[in-house]
């Protein structure tokens, strides 16, 4: 018999009961549901809305349910409508009438919104911890590769030389913004929906500030209708997760390239790569491919939430029950990806000589050659043209700027001297790019120091 069976003459159709039920996915919020009920019951007692004895019985009953769920002594009933109904029914079966008083001045609408905020708050903390872990791994690897020269690309064509440290810190900076978004999201969702009732508050003398305080919210949500129908916090969190996943996916794409025979910039540890069932030579970067694939899934979760919300009138609508699988999937997927990614990064071998060799190809120092002339007084556009012609000559003669004889340089411009070879040397090129945020080891060192200080790493 449903708790809401009063005005019904028939039992709910069994198939529809399953269709309507959310217990298969909202059971994960059992702890938050009990925490919310504990705060609500204590407030009802303190306000004299229920007796102190009933409040105490409810507290004892709820704590017993929590303990039994955690020990496994009590199992969640898969036929229950949702976690809220399950806990309340269990409470009433344990303590009788006092249990029936728990739902005074409360609706499942404010209850579910509260539970979800509390639950997602714990998930934001987990995501933050894991994202910081990956950021720390990247910084650690960067610190050991300040002088590891590698090609920087635009259009996936060799562009200008950078260092592996600089490249890694670019990813670290993305994660820093991800952390900021998580923090921001946690801050904005820190208002308590509890006490909003079904949509229009209540006539009981409740104390919303007390329950908000007890549950660690900064204040009650200011509008009861908004409180029960708002799922912006799910959208914001899924959005932060989707962007984080987009970063991991782009990074994955690079790692996949770097593992290929054509690049060979890194080698993954055997414990973090997989083989092929047929090709004995294969060592596949499956983790990164899965992360790249799962990024699409999390974007899908975000789109699910936005689409679910876009046509909803105020206030609660059952469509909102669809929020949970989407946002839970977004956070769990991102967490699983982070947990796989960090040890993979921590254990990969950097093949620095291959990076350097790759940087020595493709006229990566052509800009530096032009800059050499510019620093000797030639307008940059003219220097650019002359260098372009030199590159064309190298291509035709199958040589490099480093190997081109001084006579050839002098033919192109009398400004060229013997020191051109030093100017276009890879290490010089990198060390010279010491502008703020640039790849020169000194500049990256400063970047890392600022990063560590900002994140408290």
Nearer to ligand ARG, 112 or 443 (CB): 112
Tell me if 108 contacts ligand ARG by CB under 6 A: yes
Residue 166 bears catalytic tag? no
Close Cβ partners of 246 (under 8 Å, ≥ 6 residues apart): 295, 299
CA distance 211 to 232: 22
Tell me if 231 contacts ligand ARG by CB under 6 A: no
- Contact call for residues 184 and 124 (beta carbons, < 8 A): no
Only segment of 128-136, 143-151, 312-320, 390-398 that touches ligand ARG (CB under 6 A):
312-320
- Contact call for residues 427 and 149 (beta carbons, < 8 A): yes
Q: Which of 160, 141, 47, 46 lies closest to 347, judged by CA?
A: 141
Nearer to ligand ARG, 254 or 322 (CB): 322
Only segment of 106-114, 134-142, 177-185, 432-440 that touches ligand ARG (CB under 6 A):
106-114
Tell me if 33 contacts ligand ARG by CB under 6 A: no
Tell me if 428 contacts ligand ARG by CB under 6 A: no
Nearer to ligand ARG, 115 or 178 (CB): 115
CA distance 314 to 316: 6
Cα Rg of the chain (Å, integer): 30
Residue at token pair 């001045």: 105
CA distance 258 to 254: 6
Tell me if 26 contacts ligand ARG by CB under 6 A: yes
Nearer to ligand ARG, 112 or 330 (CB): 112
Only segment of 105-113, 202-210, 375-383, 428-436 that touches ligand ARG (CB under 6 A):
105-113
Tell me if 22 contacts ligand ARG by CB under 6 A: yes
Tell me if 321 contacts ligand ARG by CB under 6 A: yes
Beta-ladder partners of 152: 160
Sign of CA dihedral 253, 254, 259, 264: positive
Only segment of 104-112, 182-190, 345-353, 359-367 that touches ligand ARG (CB under 6 A):
104-112
Only segment of 108-116, 385-393, 412-420, 445-453 that touches ligand ARG (CB under 6 A):
108-116
Tell me if 320 contacts ligand ARG by CB under 6 A: yes
- Contact call for residues 388 and 350 (beta carbons, < 8 A): no
Q: Which of 86, 265, 316, 363 is in the footprint of ligand ARG by CB under 6 A?
A: 316
Let me know how long the chain is: 457
Least distance in Å: CB of 326 to ligand ARG?
Answer: 12
207: left (phi over 0), alpha (psi -120 to 50) or beta: beta
Q: Which of 33, 35, 54, 82 is in the footprint of ligand ARG by CB under 6 A?
A: 82
* Helices (H), ranges, 201-279: 208-214, 224-229, 232-259
- Contact call for residues 211 and 111 (beta carbons, < 8 A): no
Beta-ladder partners of 157: 154
Q: Which of 65, 112, 237, 369 is in the footprint of ligand ARG by CB under 6 A?
A: 112
Residue 247 bears catalytic tag? no
Close Cβ partners of 71 (under 8 Å, ≥ 6 residues apart): none
- Could you say which of 155, 203, 277, 435 is catalytic? 155
Catalytic center residues: 155, 276
Note the residues at the interface with ligand ARG (CB under 6 A).
22, 26, 82, 108-109, 112, 316, 318, 320-321
């Amino acid at each position: 018999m449903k708790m809401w069976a009063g005005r019904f003459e028939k039992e709910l159709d069994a198939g529809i009961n399953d269709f309507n039920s959310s217990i298969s996915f909202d059971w994960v919020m059992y702890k938050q549901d009990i925490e919310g009920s504990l705060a609500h019951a204590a407030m009802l007692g303190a306000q004299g809305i229920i007796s102190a004895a009933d409040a105490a019985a409810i507290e004892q009953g709820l704590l017993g349910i929590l303990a039994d769920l955690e020990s496994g002594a009590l199992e969640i009933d898969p036929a229950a409508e949702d976690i809220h109904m399950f806990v309340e029914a269990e409470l009433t079966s344990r303590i009788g009438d006092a249990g029936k008083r728990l739902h005074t001045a409360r609706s499942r609408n404010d209850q579910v919104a509260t539970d979800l905020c509390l639950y997602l708050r714990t998930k934001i903390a987990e995501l933050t911890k894991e994202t910081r872990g990956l950021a720390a791994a990247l910084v650690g690897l960067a610190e050991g590769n300040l002088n590891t020269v590698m090609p920087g690309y635009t259009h996936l064509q060799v562009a200008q030389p950078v260092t592996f440290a600089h490249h890694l810190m670019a990813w670290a900076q993305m994660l820093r913004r991800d952390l900021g978004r998580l923090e921001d999201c946690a801050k904005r969702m820190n208002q308590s929906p509890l006490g909003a009732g079904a949509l229009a508050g209540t006539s009981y003398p409740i104390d919303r500030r007390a329950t908000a305080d007890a549950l660690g919210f900064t204040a009650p949500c200011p509008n009861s209708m908004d409180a029960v129908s708002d799922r912006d916090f799910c959208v914001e969190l899924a959005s932060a997760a989707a962007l984080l996943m987009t970063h991991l996916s782009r990074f994955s794409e690079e790692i996949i390239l770097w593992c290929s025979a054509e690049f060979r910039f890194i080698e993954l540890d055997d414990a973090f790569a997989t083989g092929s069932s047929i090709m004995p030579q294969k060592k596949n970067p499956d983790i990164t491919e899965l992360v790249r694939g799962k990024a699409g899934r999390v974007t899908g979760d975000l789109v699910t939430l936005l689409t679910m919300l876009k046509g909803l009138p105020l206030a609660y609508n059952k469509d909102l029950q669809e929020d949970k699988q989407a946002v839970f999937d977004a956070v769990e997927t991102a967490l699983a990806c982070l947990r796989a990614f960090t040890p993979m990064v921590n254990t990969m071998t950097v093949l620095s000589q291959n990076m350097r060799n790759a940087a020595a190809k493709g006229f990566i120092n052509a800009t530096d050659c032009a800059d050499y002339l510019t620093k000797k007084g030639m307008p940059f556009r003219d220097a650019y043209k002359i260098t372009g012609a030199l590159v064309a000559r190298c291509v035709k003669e199958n040589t490099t700027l480093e190997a081109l004889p001084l006579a050839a340089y002098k033919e192109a411009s009398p400004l060229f001297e013997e020191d051109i070879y030093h100017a276009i040397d890879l290490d010089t090129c990198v060390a010279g790019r010491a502008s703020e945020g640039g790849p020169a080891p000194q500049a990256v060192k400063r970047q890392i120091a600022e990063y560590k200080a900002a994140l408290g790493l």
